[in-house]
Structure 1
């Protein structure tokens, strides 16, 4: 792919987003403390993948923050609030699902694209109680991030190109995909019951039990717990951290215990930030991830953020294997239009204990997210 083609693709994506009207979903309120709000986002991207032998250019939906739409119904009951939330992805072709042999369908919606269909009851004294399809307690624990580039680069390093297979030194497609070799062990969304505590000096505690209600013939059961801490007033610093563990049982599969955590710290006077994450699966592998970021208001349109990151994993596919990835990313906010334009480059390498050698690969992802 030439530099001209890359530039044109980025320009076309950003121009399309800037041509969209700038508005947020309206909120309608009644006289008894009730409200209805709808919202969404559109996140198209241009993906260019080089597997060491062939290159592939695709228009995709960014798996790191996919296109979606939803609404919330809220009703106050004294100091408490009942909320019904509905949210679904559009089912557009994702950056994670395409590979060397398949572009996939432009649009393929199924019920597994439902992200939230749940009730939440927020109490002032006892915390939040949730029931329905939605985030488990450990969802998001691996993604504490103060860099401003989480849209384009984060702990889930496989998101830009997870479906592509590594090529062997001889040029053949292997059975190992990017998604196989690079895991984050973050929590999931399931049909669940969940409890979140009130805030205790910046700490919140969560627990949930869930099962995969969106798939047929599935008896997966997951239990998890998590603790989060957030404080944006530590002198010149802002700090976010999360830690969680999840236990999963499913007929015909080995029981799994995942542990993952992350923290992000920002030095507000300089705009410098550090993000660190790590995770482990008891019957599989482990990883560590680190990112250095910088954010500043360089232009009047909005903040500019850049970052460089590194991921190191082992034993993800087979015992003794290793997976490494590094990336650079930039995100430019355009506040007037609720747009974030981004450009990211990521390199992947994989090795195992077999006689097979694997070629390194890389991906470029360029796009823009418009929130409405």
Structure 2
């Protein structure tokens, strides 16, 4: 975390004193110092510093990269990339000011690095370069008694309500979204097809092959969050054009267990949520629920998430009925501090994506599908550097009815990388 509070003028004076000779060390009107002070004055006019304004400025974020070794049954290779478009390397600019006791106003801007987006990775593309992206930009007013109201490009009420209950320290590293591996083409009996793994983990609500977390992007909207009572809170939002969401959350400790629960429901009727449009009209309702429980004494934990999408019989541009679908995810493991550097986490995971057929899969004749993904991994935290190192293994398996593509070959990969917070 970086806070700006250093006096630039003090730096200028110190520089002048250190470079001035014995006869001129006290002469702050010298040509050297006058020139430097003029430059510093220009900087001060455009630089936010702690204490010179009523609104604070803080920069936080993280940097994360991985190397992914993959094998599709015929071809194998290694790619270096980030870890996904919604949880990629980023920095956040936030600030807050006090309006009155218990009432604050603030803002948040989040910039993502999408120069190495792994959701574009396939057999012939290591990653896609989408540059820097302003993922969020919003302001808010918050009251301890009345709650928080925010407006702008924002995480709306139910965003990732199920997935974000994972408090194991592995949520960014391992979850049920197809951040990596989803864009690879399937092989059938060794031959490449024109279908990708993400075509069997498609979310119509947000028109993307996320797999899980079908309410996981940010949108322009207005959101209200209630105050937290005994660990419980409620949220509601409206996003253009149109998206309605409600959610409930709980975080707390009970009888030696750390607990977190989340539930959300959203209805999206905007055909252009993520262009290009894939249907003439949209009416996607998404329900999600998730939870986490960790025994504090032993470190044993379990996390589960479930999502169900109802597309209400709407049709794709090609005339196919958009299927109703669901997915679920389970992760279990142990989190303990065996080493002095920080906690270690060992986990295993399993996810299933049922009938999440994309417009491309429907056009290929697919009528139903079951896409399974399982894996395991190890994470080592280094507290002194706010850092996590990981290595993980995953395997994809799918059974598809209707499409004449034969048996699908399994896809496997190992990735290792690190995340460092600042």
Normalised TM-score (structure 2): 0.76
Does residue 359 (structure 1) correspond to residue 409 (structure 2)? The answer is yes
Structure 2 counterpart of 1:120: 140
Q: Deviation of residue 170 (structure 1)?
A: 4.2
Residues 57-98 of structure 1 show CA distances to partners (whole Å, capped at 9, x for unaligned) of 111011173101121121111121111111110222122221
Structure 1 counterpart of 2:315: none
| Structure 1 unpaired stretches of 5+ | 1-23, 212-219
More strand by share: 1
Once the two structures are superposed, the pairs formed by residues 1-372 of structure 1 within 5 Å of their partners are 24-26=1-3, 28=5, 29-30=50-51, 34-63=55-84, 65-78=87-100, 79-105=102-128, 107-109=129-131, 113-143=133-163, 144-156=165-177, 158-178=178-198, 180-181=200-201, 182-211=211-240, 220-232=241-253, 234-251=254-271, 252-283=280-311, 284-317=324-357, 318-354=366-402, 355-356=404-405, 357-372=407-422
What secondary structure is seen at the aligned counterpart in 1 of 2:56? Answer: strand
C-alpha distance in structure 2 between counterparts of 1:323 and 1:253, whole Å:
27
Q: Using a 3 Å threshold, how does the CA distance of structure 1 residues 174 and 240 change in structure 2: closer, same or farther?
A: same
Note if contact 2:80-2:126 (Cα within 8 Å) is conserved in structure 1.
no
Note if contact 2:348-2:375 (Cα within 8 Å) is conserved in structure 1.
yes
Note if contact 1:187-1:246 (Cα within 8 Å) is conserved in structure 2.
no
**Rg: which structure is higher?**
2
Q: Deviation of residue 313 (structure 1)?
A: 2.1
Structure 2 counterpart of 1:12: none
C-alpha distance in structure 2 between counterparts of 1:306 and 1:25, whole Å:
32
Normalised TM-score (structure 1): 0.86
Q: Using a 3 Å threshold, how does the CA distance of structure 1 residues 188 and 65 change in structure 2: closer, same or farther?
A: closer
Note if contact 2:181-2:197 (Cα within 8 Å) is conserved in structure 1.
no
C-alpha distance in structure 2 between counterparts of 1:253 and 1:48, whole Å:
40
Note if contact 1:44-1:367 (Cα within 8 Å) is conserved in structure 2.
yes
C-alpha distance in structure 2 between counterparts of 1:250 and 1:299, whole Å:
50
Q: Deviation of residue 320 (structure 1)?
A: 2.3
The structure 1 segments of at least 4 consecutive aligned residues displaced by more than 4 Å after TM superposition are: none
Residues 83-141 of structure 1 show CA distances to partners (whole Å, capped at 9, x for unaligned) of 11111102221222211132345x4325xx21211001111111000000110111121
Structure 2 counterpart of 1:18: none
C-alpha distance in structure 2 between counterparts of 1:293 and 1:65, whole Å:
22
Structure 2 counterpart of 1:215: none
Q: Deviation of residue 242 (structure 1)?
A: 0.4
C-alpha distance in structure 1 between counterparts of 2:141 and 2:377, whole Å:
38
| Greater shift in the superposed pair: 298-307 or 177-186 | 177-186
| Greater shift in the superposed pair: 169-178 or 138-147 | 169-178
Q: Which of structures 1 and 2 has the larger relative contact order (alpha carbons within 8 angstroms, sep 6+)?
A: 1
| Structure 2 unpaired stretches of 5+ | 6-49, 202-210, 272-279, 312-323, 358-365
